[in-house]
């Protein structure tokens, strides 16, 4: 599980690098207890106070530490958006924000615990690297890459995952009638949906910054974008990368509507057309 890998890796980073600090707002405080006992000055649980969590991260960064802040995406990004904007970006500071919950992992908890808009919110700010791992084995490398510097990094963990880890920008399938970009855990349903279709499937676990050179090298006139958050979040990014190439884009992802439903993550994937059958129908009618 990605969350467990995050906890293991962050606990190790706290041991290895005296610059690493962790700020929590109760979420995941229990599994971080050993780390907190070991490093009481660098593991801070502020209680259920997400504005303070990000403010504290911003202050820690001002003193030269490397803060990692963690909660559900909807509390970490949506709720504390102005703190992210002002206490990090505006101060010229960075942090590593690591979320759980994604768009509907907590399906039985309902809309209050969903954040389909987190990446779109970060897109309103500057210089965020956004990682959307598709497998636990991708998480550790992302955290270890983020720890030594001071830039702004968001890592969006999910309980949805692919059957195995892939490198960012991997090409698990090659074909000639279109390019299907699968972001993070969307790869598994995309591979199932495009079975037998003559398309290239490209895997992206770092959608910001999107590697434009790579995209141009694999682009085809028909591009399908499948993201595990709000549909169309990366449309402008792709339009910019392909601005001088004739192309058409179908952007698939989570819908804007509050469905007011519980159920399983698989149910939500189906309701948003992101299950293999839904993707197959939409992609099949777009690619000709």
Partner 1 sequence: MPTVTMTDEARLTGLLRRVTGDEKHGPSAHSTLDVLWVLYDRVLDVAPERVDDPERDRFLLSKGHGPAAYYAVLAAQGFIPEQWLDGMGDAHSPLGHHPDRLLVPGVEIGSGSLGHGLGLGVGVALGLRAQGITRPRTYVLLGDAELDEGSNHEAVAFAGATRLAGLTAIVVDNQSATHGWPGGIASRFTVNGWTAETVDGRDRDTIERALRGHTGERPHAVVAVTERKGN
Least distance between partner 1 and beta carbon 9 (Å): 20
Selected from 13, 58, 134, 206, the binder of partner 1 by CB under 8 A is 58
98 in contact with partner 1 (CB under 8 A):
no
Q: What six digits make up the tokens of 154? A: 């968001």
**Shortest reach from residue 220's CB to partner 1, in Å:** 43
For partner 1, which is the closer residue by CB, 14 or 182? 14
Is residue 63 close enough to count as binding partner 1 by CB under 8 A?
yes
Cβ neighbours, 10 Å, residue 18: 12
Look at residues 49, 60, 59, 61 and name the one whose alpha carbon lies nearest to residue 24. Answer: 49
Applying CB under 8 A, among 30, 37, 41, 260 the residue interacting with partner 1 is: 41
Buried b (16+ CB within 10 A) or exposed e, 213-234: eebeeebbebbbbbbbbbbbbb
Instruction: Give yes or no for residue 44 binding partner 1 (CB under 8 A).
Output: yes
CB 130 within 8 A of CB 122: yes
54 binds partner 1 (CB under 8 A): yes
Stretch that binds partner 1, among 7-15, 47-55, 177-185, 268-276 (CB under 8 A): 47-55
**3-class DSSP state for residue 186?**
helix
Main-chain dihedrals φ then ψ at residue 225, nearest 5 degrees: -110, 125
Contacts to partner 1 by CB under 8 A: 18, 21, 23, 41-42, 44, 46-47, 49, 51-52, 54-65, 67, 82-83, 86-87, 90-92
């Amino acid at each position: 599980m990605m969350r467990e890998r995050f906890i293991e890796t962050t606990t190790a980073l706290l041991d290895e690098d005296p610059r690493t600090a962790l700020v929590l707002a109760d979420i995941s405080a229990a599994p971080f207890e050993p780390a907190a006992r070991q490093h009481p000055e660098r593991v801070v649980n502020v209680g259920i106070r997400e504005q303070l969590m990000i403010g504290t991260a911003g202050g820690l960064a001002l003193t030269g530490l490397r803060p990692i802040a963690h909660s559900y995406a909807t509390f970490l990004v949506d709720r504390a958006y102005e703190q992210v904007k002002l206490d990090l970006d505006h101060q010229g500071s960075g942090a590593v924000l690591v979320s759980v919950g994604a768009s509907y992992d907590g399906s039985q908890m309902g809309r209050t615990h969903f954040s389909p808009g987190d990446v779109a919110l970060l897109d309103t700010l500057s210089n965020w690297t956004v990682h959307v791992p598709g497998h636990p084995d991708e998480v550790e490398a992302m955290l270890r890459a983020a720890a030594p510097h001071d830039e702004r990094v968001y890592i969006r963990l999910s309980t949805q995952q692919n059957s195995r880890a892939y490198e960012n920008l991997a090409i698990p399938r090659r074909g000639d009638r279109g390019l299907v970009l699968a972001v993070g855990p969307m790869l598994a349903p995309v591979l199932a949906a495009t079975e037998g279709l003559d398309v290239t499937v490209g895997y992206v676990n770092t959608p910001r910054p999107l590697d434009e050179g790579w995209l141009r090298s694999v682009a085809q006139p028909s591009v399908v974008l499948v993201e595990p958050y709000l549909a169309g979040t990366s449309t402008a990014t792709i339009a910019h990368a392909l601005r001088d190439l004739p192309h058409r884009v179908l952007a698939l992802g989570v819908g804007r509507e509050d469905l007011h439903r519980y159920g399983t993550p698989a149910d939500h994937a189906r309701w948003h057309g992101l299950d293999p059958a839904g993707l197959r129908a939409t992609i099949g009618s777009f690619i000709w």
